[in-house]
Amino acid sequence: MRDLALGSLILASPDPDRLQQWYVDAFDAEPDADGFFALGDVGVLVSGRPELAERSLEPGRILVNLHVSAIEDRVADLRARFPDLVWEAPLEHRADAGAWFATLVDPDGNLVQLIELTPAYWAAKRARAEAAGEPSPPVAFLDAEARLPARDLERARRFYEDRLGLTPADERDGGLLYRIGATSFALFESTGEAAGTHTQLALHVPDIDVAIVELRARGLVLDDVDIHGLDHAANGSVAVEGNYPSTGATGELAVWFHDSEGNLIGLSQPTYG
């Protein structure tokens, strides 16, 4: 089902503070206000269950799989910072799987498996799909990322932080990377002119009324967009009919604004019924 996704994972523990702090220290996974911390695209919550045993009685029943890059460096770092860490399985390359694996044990006895996929994995996956008669894409895409040009990268950084409350998750010379949920976009230094005549990036919010109030309080100026046949609501948003069937939405409420570099950004809330 396209509208079905693994949204979060709960790790139950008789000592939740200890277990949460271990994940924070081991994987730099800072909890949000609700106690969730992100392991990749999945939010994890450690829940207190005092009736549980101190250690997992069947640690192999559920594995926490963490896909990483440079797995040798990751394992070496964990061994150096946690010399008493118990490893269920050492770092090894499994040719049949086309991947590197290393499995460690968290403080409650749960198994955490680190995995680094290699090109051999993707080649074997494509071969299996072809053998099963399934359509196989010409390229094994891992993900997609929007890129927006910026003539002044530091000016753009200030705009996205001051007006939208966003800070880069990563950066390099000439580029800033932002992560929102399971998606990301990047600003890159460019002497080119931003198009600004069509929506280049869409930001989705659960409540557009609240978002508009908060963003205007931060100094964001919304565009006065005139779309033929659509009326503006009191908050400046317009109701747009239609949406992708897989979303389950029937339309959206939307506003637009230009960033400091001239890129046109859309802000929308899906509507149902």
> pLDDT band at residue 20, thresholds of 50, 70 and 90?
very high
Whole-angstrom Cα distance, residue 162 to residue 157? 8
Q: What local confidence, expressed as pLDDT, does residue 140 receive?
A: 63
> pLDDT band at residue 233, thresholds of 50, 70 and 90?
confident
Please say if the pLDDT value at position 56 is more than 90: yes
pLDDT in tens, 93-126: 999 999 999 999 999 999 999 999 998 888 888 8
pLDDT in tens, 175-205: 999 988 778 999 999 998 888 889 999 999 9
> pLDDT band at residue 2, thresholds of 50, 70 and 90?
very low
* Mean pLDDT confidence for 237-252: 86
Strands 63-67, 170-172: parallel, antiparallel or unpaired by DSSP? unpaired
Cβ contacts of 263 within 8 Å, gap of 6 or more: 148, 149, 194, 195, 196, 200, 201
> pLDDT band at residue 1, thresholds of 50, 70 and 90?
very low
Sketch the domain layout of the chain as residue ranges: 1-54, 61-142, 146-271
Same fold for the pair 61-142 and 146-271: no
How would DSSP label each residue in 69-102? SSHHHHHHHHHHH-TT-EEEEEEEEETTTTEEEE
Please say if the pLDDT value at position 16 is more than 90: yes
Q: What local confidence, expressed as pLDDT, does residue 214 receive?
A: 93
pTM, two decimals, is 0.65
Please report which helix (H) or strand (E) contains residue 179, including its range: strand 175-180
Q: What local confidence, expressed as pLDDT, does residue 123 receive?
A: 83
* Mean pLDDT confidence for 3-12: 81
What share of the chain has pLDDT > 70, as a percent?
95
Class of domain 146-271: alpha beta
Q: Which of these, 257, 263, 116, 258, lies nearest to 186 by C-alpha position?
A: 263
Q: What local confidence, expressed as pLDDT, does residue 136 receive?
A: 65
* Mean pLDDT confidence for 69-97: 94
Class of domain 61-142: alpha beta
